[in-house]
Amino acid sequence: MTRTLVLVRHGQSEWNLKNLFTGWKDPDLTEKGVEEARQAGRRLKAAGIHFGTAFTSELSRAQRTLGLIVSELGQMHFPTHRSVALNERDYGELSGLNKDDARARWGEEQVHIWRRSYDVPPPGGESLKDTGARVWPYYIHVILPKVLSGDNVIIAAHGNSLRALVMALEGMTPEDIVAEEIGTGVPIVYRLNADSTVREKEVLS
């Protein structure tokens, strides 16, 4: 029983390219993002991982990334579950703004705090702690039981929802997670012990 869990951040989106805060807004992938997703699928196929279940968010960039990965894998028959619990963090009033414009309006230090701190949310939005508060219960109650039962699981989601999950999986502190970056379209493969702790981690870059 391999108890494999794979995390993949969606490929580059149109708003990533334009340097905009995205959050719960729903832009599509760029051509580069499509290729990143396909490349993720090819890397997972080369690794010989066969999935039993997939999870993704309610946002189309993550759903499309998952679809492209599954197409490359040639594994079309496992169930996919979508949940708002896996959505990107909500950037509130920053959503849709250019990051440079936001720095000009609120100051570079304040925007940096909103983007990278653990528990300071932007106006009307979520902190990473808030994002974790919906990601962690969903993982514990819905996703983890499938992994522990031997179902290899893939999650296609977002930078911050996955950072919250990585924080829990790796036992990171709020200080540790500030510096954690998750690349677009790069599969992170965890193999878990029977007690749900991480036995092995591999980044397929």
pLDDT digits (tens, 9 = 90+) for 178-204: 889 999 999 999 999 999 999 999 999
3-class state of residue 201 by DSSP: strand
10 flagged as catalytic: yes
58 flagged as catalytic: no
Selection from 110, 162, 154 nearest residue 136 by Cα: 162
Distances (CA, A) of 183 to 53, 92, 108, 120, 166: 23, 23, 23, 23, 13
**Which one of 10, 36, 126, 158 is the catalytic residue?**
10
CATH of the domain at 151: 3.40.50.1240
Split into its structural domains, the chain has a count of 1
Confidence of residue 77 (pLDDT cuts 50, 70, 90): confident
Please compute the mean of the pLDDT values over residues 22-27 and round it to a whole number. Answer: 95
**Which one of 14, 72, 88, 170 is the catalytic residue?**
88
Residue 54 counted as domain residue:
yes
Residue 123 counted as domain residue:
no
Residue 20 counted as domain residue:
yes
Q: How many other CB atoms sit within 10 Å of the CB of residue 168?
A: 15
Supply the DSSP string of 16-55, one letter for each residue: HHTTB--TT----B-HHHHHHHHHHHHHHHHTT---SEEE
- The pair phi, psi for residue 173, each rounded to 5°, is -90, 165
Residue 147 counted as domain residue:
yes
The residue ranking higher by pLDDT, 36 or 78, is 36
Alpha carbon distance 109, 112 (integer Å): 5
Read off the tokens for 121.
């949310």
Residue 140 counted as domain residue:
yes
Residue 156 counted as domain residue:
yes
Alpha carbon distance 195, 178 (integer Å): 27
Q: How many residues does this entry show for the chain?
A: 205
pLDDT above 80 for 1? no
State the DSSP H helix or E strand holding residue 155, giving kind and residue range, or none if neither: strand 153-157
Residue 115 counted as domain residue:
no
Strands 188-192 and 198-203: antiparallel
Residue 25 counted as domain residue:
yes
- Residue-level pLDDT at 5: 98
Domain that holds residue 187: 4-90+128-203
% residues pLDDT > 90 (the chain): 95
Selection from 72, 70, 89 nearest residue 155 by Cα: 70
pLDDT above 80 for 45? yes
